[in-house]
Structure 1
Amino acid sequence: MAVFTVCGWIYAIYLKGARAIKSNLLMTVPVVLFISIFNTLFTHQGNTILFYINNNPITKEAITFGIFSGFMFASVLIWFSCFNRIVNGEMIMYLFSRISSFFGLLISMILRYIPLLKKRYTDISAGQRCMYQGQEQKGFVRLKTGLKKVSILTSWSLESSIESADSMAARGHGLKGRTSFVLYKMSLRDIFMIGLVIFCGAVSIYFAITGKNEMIFYPDVKMPKLTLKGVLSGAWFLVLTLMPVITDIAGEIKWRKSESGI
């Protein structure tokens, strides 16, 4: 969990800069607090009882498990934010178009839809602020303005979906024999990196299945014993999670060297 969380933060900061610290904190702190509090209040397993709330025991094990679960979920969100930053619709179509063009198109549209809705909502909010500039909104008026923003966003999205459907039909989407243009080609370097990812992932999964780094929370918190296999498991997982950062830094160094050579 420490490797997974720290490497996710490192890669997010590398991709987005210092502003990633604020966005990561906004994702991590509320998620960890919510899951840890929720698990503590509704799970009463564990031998170490700290105190009681309405005759319900609050245990150290439940708090510990909630904190770990919160960090796990928050780290997954951070890694997906990195994924959303580096993987675009063209890459999704390239990966899935040969397997299923419909599936690839569906995934690329879903990944595009969330940031598009956020951008549109920001534009709508800016327009509403200009319309009601200088007027303080409270209570029901503020709620009414918020509902109006959602209504505008819904109408805008529906109109845009109709335009997208007409545009796709005009370009022959779904017709037999239609080819697709892709910008990417599979190279030996890509094959090597895929093989390395699969190998590191397989080794990490093997050690996880065999329980070499298994931590027990109930009925008592027990940390895994420090063994050679456990260290190797963490080392391979560290290589797997640092691979994106190392690859990007190596590519940037290579690019700068080529620029200085020119």
Structure 2
Amino acid sequence: MLTMRDTHTAFDTCHPAVPATYFAATILIAIFAMQPVCVGISLAGALVFSLAARGWRRTLGGLRWQLPMVALVAVANPLFSASGSTLVAQLGPMAIYQESIAYGACAGALLVAVVLWFEDAACVLTQDRLLQLGARVLPTVTLVTSMAAQLVPQLMQRSQTVRAATLATTAAAPEGSRDRGVRVADQLMSWSMEDSIERSDAMRARGWGATDRRSCYLPDSFRNSDAFALAGIVLLAAVSAFLVYAACSQWHFYPTMPRLVAWWGYAPHAVLAFLPTALDLGQRLRWGRVA
């Protein structure tokens, strides 16, 4: 079962290893970059790419619960962590400090940024591309994943069929009978065990497990352009990670927050975060299909 998309991105013409490396590096940097400017860059980059790749309807649909989560974390953190030096309000014995509010807002924005990056990665790295990445490295895991993705929807569809048949035979299981659920589970178990035996026989007949190394069909070949793109992403991510580490090591929320200043070290992180959106817009302008 393949994941279908309505939009295309610049990563569609690359080998799956390129977007997989990019999103792995971007998500790891976003998780550990607990600094206001770095969090803002990660959030903005994930948001604009989500608008380009997933569309504004799906992006806004996700923001309906993501933005309240930021507000909830920002409000809840001062109530549980009364730390800081700038008093904002005094609610009885409870003191609310500006630093606690800033830490909660930054943590909430970081969580939303990571969620958006995962959603963007799921849009680009569809199921067939993920299976292609692990076809030779992890053949058994790839097989189990592909079969689970196929058999779980099939099992749900069969459960509806068995339930409908059970509802039609009221004499075997009257309305409101507790045995109806047991009968449905029993039929599904029998059906699944019979199907598993047939699948194992079919796989054995096709030579699965006959050799240590199994060949596989790879729709995307790893070209020289993919190697250059992969090397560029790794280099950019390494520079960004080093500079983000330097920025985070000089920042602290408690007891007082230092003043944020303009610094050139944020530029590589911004380039990394906005790189897929820039490539996607450039591709759309090239082919004359600006959204």
User: Alpha carbons of 1:86 and 1:156: their partners in 2 closer, same or farther (altered >3 Å)?
Assistant: farther
Tell me by how many angstroms 1:107 deviates. 6.6
Matched, 1:4 2:42: yes
Give the SS at the match of 1:189: helix
Code of the aligned partner of 1:193:
A
Equivalent position to 2:277, from 217, 221, 245? 245
Tell me by how many angstroms 1:5 deviates. 1.1
Tell me by how many angstroms 1:49 deviates. 2.2
Matched, 1:197 2:233: yes
Normalized per residue, which structure has more helix?
1
CA distance in 2, matches of 1:207, 1:188: 29
Give the number of the structure with larger relative contact order, counting CA–CA contacts within 8 Å between residues 6 or more apart: 2
Give the SS at the match of 1:210: helix
How many residues are treated as equivalent by the alignment?
223
CA distance in 1, matches of 2:117, 2:190: 30
| Equivalence for 2:254 | 218
Gaps of 5+ in 1: 125-151, 258-262
Matched, 1:96 2:128: no
Question: RMSD value over aligned CA atoms?
Answer: 3.9
Tell me by how many angstroms 1:24 deviates. 3.4
User: Alpha carbons of 1:237 and 1:214: their partners in 2 closer, same or farther (altered >3 Å)?
Assistant: same
TM-score by length of structure 2 reads 0.62
Equivalent position to 2:215, from 173, 179, 182? 179
CA distance in 2, matches of 1:219, 1:73: 23
| Equivalence for 1:148 | none
User: Alpha carbons of 1:75 and 1:212: their partners in 2 closer, same or farther (altered >3 Å)?
Assistant: closer
CA distance in 1, matches of 2:190, 2:73: 35
Tell me by how many angstroms 1:104 deviates. 4.5
Same amino acid, percent of matched pairs: 20
CA deviation string 1:141-179 (max 9, x = no partner): xxxxxxxxxxx9xx9899789958964763365553432
Gaps of 5+ in 2: 1-38, 161-183
| Equivalence for 2:202 | 170
Determine if contact 2:136/2:214 at 8 Å carries over to the other structure.
Answer: no
Tell me by how many angstroms 1:201 deviates. 0.7
Tell me by how many angstroms 1:250 deviates. 3.5
Matched, 1:235 2:267: yes
TM-score by length of structure 1 reads 0.68
CA deviation string 1:183-222 (max 9, x = no partner): 1111111111111111111111111223378432111122
- Give the number of the structure whose alpha-carbon radius of gyration is greater: 2
